[in-house]
Every structure is written in C-alpha cells, then in structure tokens.
Structure 1
Amino acid sequence: MDFSKLFISFLLLQFLFNNPSMVHAGPNCSPYLFREYLGAEGQNVTFADVPINANVEFHFILSFAIDYTDSSPPLPTNGYFNVYWDADNLSPSLVSSIKAEYPNVKVAMSLAGDTVDGFNASFNPTSIDSWVRNAIYSVTNLVKEYNLDGIDIDYEHFKTDPDTFAECIGRLLYYLKQNKIVSFTSIAPYEDVDVQPHYLALWRKYGHLIDYVNFQFYAYPKGTNVSQFLQYFETQRCNYEGGKILVSFGTDESGGLKPQNGFFNATSILKSEGKLEGIFIWSADDSKKDNFYYEKQAQDLLAT
C-alpha cells in the first residue's frame, strides 16, 4: 500500500470537510439556463417579485442601457450608455441583495432595445474607434456600479452596415471579456431582413466571444404552432452554428408560440432531443399581471 498517497487523500478529505463551499461552488443547478428581461415597461417590478427556482441557473437582464441622451427628443451619444431601466426598483444595492440571497442568480444589462421615448434606439456610430472607446468606458462603469455579471446586445435599428456593427460590438465584447469586466455575453437577434444580417456578421467574426443567443422567437407571427416553432429553431441553430440558442416567448402581445398554444410542448421535445439550452422570457414587467405564472412553469420544466 502506498501510504504517502493515502495520507494525501486523507488531508484532501479533511480540507474539503472543513471547507464545504469548495465541494459545491453553488446550488445543485440543472444544466439549463433561465433568463428574464425586466425594467423597461415601468411596472415597478423588483427582483424580489419574480419567482426564482434555486435549481436552475438564473439571469436577470436589466432593460435597457441606451447610448442616447435623456433629452427630448433623445439624441445619440456615439457609444456612451445611460441607464433607461427602472433605476429606483432595480438599483445597485438591490442587485447585490438578490445575488447574495440566491447564489444561482446573476444579473446582466441589455444594450439598446427597440425604442427610447418613442424614438428608435438606433446603432449610429460616428466612427468605429470613437464608438468603441466610449462604449468601453461607459459600459465598464455601469457594470462596476451595478455589480453586473454580463451584457446582452439588443440593437434592433441600424444606421450603418453589418460589418461596422460587427466590428464595434466585437471589439467591445473582446475588451470586456479579455479584461474580465463581464463573465458572459449574449445577443438578441430576430428574423428580420434589416436586423438578422447585422447579427450574423457579428457571429461570423466574433461568435467565439458570445455565450448565449437570446433569439426572439416571439418576433415570429402570432399563431405560430409547435411544428413551425421547431422548424424556426432548426433554422436558427444553423444560422448560429455552435451557439447556445435559447428558446423564448413573450408575456406581452407579441407573436410566436405562446405557452397556452404549446410552447412547453415544443420545449419538452427539444429537451428530449438534447437540443435545449434554456428559456428566456420577455418580460417580467408584462408577467406581473399574471403573477409570473409562466416563469414558474418554465423553471419547473428546466429544473426536472
């Protein structure tokens, strides 16, 4: 018997016994991810309102930080991002509190979104270098101020070509990851002739820096059925080959496949086929009216 190896094993077991946090870095989570956007609709939703299943990895996504002024009308700031989410109910101290209470929770912020005060939140850089410089400065400051873990890219309007978008966003993601400012990144594309080409250009060149694809399946037509949804999913798996494609639905009046029409049936099929990475919902603000019924159902599906 090798007593030296036995002694080392004994010391290791003793160390782990006295340091249980080293055995499990967090809760016993399922391999699936649940994400929820919140803060954009002014419904006074807080982190504590949303049900959190301790057995799934959970991301809150603050919506939105926008590179526009708060003037009327809002004006583009060439990459200098300002907080447009509900900062009173989703403050830095509340971010820290929810993360302390739930070890499985991380918090990100989403950049841009659809509109700002009724105007398109367009990607409108003066130049690649100046936009990247301003974005690095402002995003880094917001991440540190709010104790955030990641960022999401959700531009939906563009005043430049796909290659410029790819270069600006790609350089920003590279800096944030290279310098460990954030631990994960995501993009939120959808099927649109003016939108998808920008994200595909970004994916082709900088896809290795993108951890999740929050594909907006709720941007497909209302009345989508299970079969159509599964076809849409396969199309986007091909478009973002190798990416972690999250399925989604909206609790607002958006389209796509709704839970009451078979979303969870489709998700169960993908899960059984080993294709499911996770679910995200737009948005907690809209779900408040239904007491977050579908958030609970989505997380239960992912946890089992």
Structure 2
Amino acid sequence: MNTITLNNATKMPQLGLGTWKIDKANCADVIVAAAKAGYRHFDCACDYGNEKEVGEGLRRVMDEGIATREQLWITSKLWNTYHAAEHVRPACEKTLSDLGLDYVDLYLIHFPISLKFVPFEDRYPPEWFYDPNAAQPKLVPHPVPIRETWQAMEQLMESHLVKNIGVCNFGVSLIRDLLSYARIRPSVLQVELHPLLTQEKLLRYCATEEIAVTAFSSFGAESYYSLGMAQPSESLMKHALVQQIAQQTGRSPAQVLLRWAVQRGTIVIPKASSPAHLEDNAAIFDFELSGDQMQQLSDLNQNRRFNDPGDFCEAAFNTFFPIYE
C-alpha cells in the first residue's frame, strides 16, 4: 500500500475506506472484507453514526490476525456540537469507546462550524438539529473560536489519545489563521476533491505548508443523488471523457478517478460495500495516467461543490449557513 509521509514523518496509507453511508447492518462485515482486500486505513466520524459497528469490524480484523493495531490507520472526526474546550476530550473518548480503541491515528475537526452542545445522553450522534422535535427545527450556532478547539485538540495528542490532528472543510484563510497560533501543526486537511472541483490553489498552499490532503467524494456526484444534492446528469462515472480514458487504460471509471487523485498526491477514501468494488477501488497503484489524461480530467473543473453547508443546511435543516464564501 502506498503511503504519504506527514509533516511529523508519520506514514499514512494513501488509500482508505470511507465509512460514510455504510449501513450499520453490514458495516462490520464490510470492514473485515476491506481488510482482507488490503485496506489498512479506515475513515470514520461520530456523525456517520456507525462507529460502534466499525469497531466490531476492527476487533474481528485484529482477532482473526488479518492486521495488528499498529498496521491499521484509523481516522475520526470531532463533530460540530463539541467544539468547546470542555467537550473535545469527552467527544474523542466517546469515539474511542465506540471504536474499541485506545487511540486513533488521526482526529480532525469535521467542519469549521460550531453548534450548541447536545449532551451524549440526550442524543448521539447529535446530527445537525439542536432540537429535532421543535415546531421549526434548525441549527443553533454556539460560537467557539477555532483557536480554543485547536488547543483542546493539541491536548488530545499530548494525552496520547490521538497520534495526529487536522481539519476538514477548511479553506486557505482559516488554515493560515490556525497556523499563526498552532503549537502542533495540522498534519492533514480533508476536503471535497474531484475533477469538477480541483481546488488547485488550495492544494498548492497545503504543499507549501507541508499539510497532506485527503480527498473525499472522489467520484463527485455519486454519493449525493439520494440526498437530493446532485443530479445523475452530473455523474463523473458516466462522463464521456472518464469513459474514454477508462477504455484507453483498460480500467474502470472509478479507478480512473481515483488514479487522478492519487497521482496529484492526495489521499483517497472511497466508500464501497461489495467485495468487487472494494477490490476495484484498491487496484490503482499499478498503472499511471499520462500527462495529457491528467490535464484533460483537471480541465473538467467547474468549481462544483456537492457538499456545501451553504446549500444543504438551508435545504435540509432550515438554516442558511455558508462557510466557503
């Protein structure tokens, strides 16, 4: 498995399994199947609602001798309701308990969005609404400086609950501000990246600051049809150029899109559930795209962001909440 060397010399697997939207009923089996297919990196989050099931799968992976804990890379994320300093450690400890682990390899701030705290005993994961039973449920912001949250994240590292810390869905301005006070620099930025959203300047900036980049939604629209956040006409898998390059290389459209991502130096975390798709997504390190093919794919850029709180928070959660503008 190819790795990316982080700014503290830690090696992170360049391919991982994204666990967003993996059904609880078969989640543990998917984790085991992925490990048997060679995956050692698993990308999780409190908000995905399946960390207990991921943990069951990880225990089986270790108990069956497929991989040791030291050979695994587990990422999780701090949810929006836990940004206050006093809530960061309990949130991390809850994730560790659900996963059945003593530490995670990477812990990320999930969004630069701070919402009103919801106690674990009231609802976990808390999701987006503060009170889903209200007459008009909505997001309830509770402003917490990112500095406060980051300092609590640093304490997680110092307590050996996490090995690395980073951020998700941050832009250059927020990262630059974070770097002005961080005692421990972020190791990783996780953001949406695919040929319709290439984010060239953000990648270049992260390279200069030695921050590794994980790409989510590498297939573009595919994960968002069921949520009403994308149309089938926006499919990259079925795009004529992607299909053409797949034919030229003798690979699947999914492999073409993932190869484009890893050839740019990013980490990828595609979601898959079937053994066939798991194996297909993993077979991306034994071929290369030509310079022309890479450029053709990058030229598809439309700055099309599918996972945008400025859109989905208003549509789904009755609250206008832009973060990228």
TM superposition score normalised by structure 1: 0.46
Task: Give the strand-richer structure, 1 or 2.
Answer: 1
Larger radius of gyration: 1
TM superposition score normalised by structure 2: 0.44
